[in-house]
Amino acid sequence: MSMTDPIADMLTRIRNACGSKHRRVDIPASKMKLEIARLLKANNFITDYKSVAAADGRPLLRVVLKYAQGGQPVIRELKRVSSPGLRKYVAVAEIPRVRNGLGVAIISTSKGLMTDREARAQRTGGELLALVW
């Protein structure tokens, strides 16, 4: 069975694993999900990620979650903004500041996936995929 929104599924798996205090989570891999994981690691929301092969040969994305000193997850909230049923596009001037700069907005632009800070620096808008803080 095909999935309607694989990015929302990835974010939900990470959100559920953080809530259950799991060390890592396995997600079916794609190029878009690898880029999202790269951005999460670059902004210190996860410890690491890598692509591994499942028993049936399909590629999996293994995300190692990050926790703060008291066992609290570093990712407080993961929110999907644009969905297949209702796309949300933003211009450069409309790119949101997440939690006054403490969080990150993930934007899909014509130059690839980037954070809100990178998109503002490159003066490009795009599809607002998710908010993370």
Task: Answer whether 95's CB lies under 8 Å from 120's CB.
Answer: yes
How many C-beta atoms lie closer than 10 Å to residue 50's C-beta? 13
pTM, two decimals, is 0.94
Assess whether pLDDT exceeds 60 at residue 1: no
Does 124 lie in the same domain as 83? yes
Select from 61, 70, 51 the least CA-distant residue to 11. Answer: 61
Residue 53: its H or E element? strand 46-53
Does 54 lie in the same domain as 29? yes
**pLDDT single digits (tens) 42-85:** 999 999 999 999 999 999 999 999 999 999 999 999 999 999 99
Determine, yes or no, domain membership for 1: no
If one counts the domains in the chain, the total is: 2
**pLDDT single digits (tens) 80-132:** 999 999 999 999 999 999 999 999 999 999 999 999 999 999 999 999 999 99
- The CATH code of the domain that includes 40 is 3.30.1370.30
Determine, yes or no, domain membership for 43: yes
Task: Answer whether 4's CB lies under 8 Å from 80's CB.
Answer: no
Residue 107 sits at the vertex; the CA angle it makes with 84 and 104, to the nearest 5 degrees, is 120
- The CATH code of the domain that includes 120 is 3.30.1490.10
Residue 88: give the domain boundaries. 78-132
pLDDT at 31 (0 to 100): 97
Assess whether pLDDT exceeds 60 at residue 40: yes
Confidence of residue 3 (pLDDT cuts 50, 70, 90): confident
pLDDT at 2 (0 to 100): 66
Determine, yes or no, domain membership for 126: yes
Select from 39, 22, 32 the least CA-distant residue to 59. Answer: 32
Task: Answer whether 77's CB lies under 8 Å from 45's CB.
Answer: no
Does 88 lie in the same domain as 44? no
Does 87 lie in the same domain as 57? no
Where b means 16+ CB within 10 Å and e means fewer, 32-42 reads ebbbbbebbbe
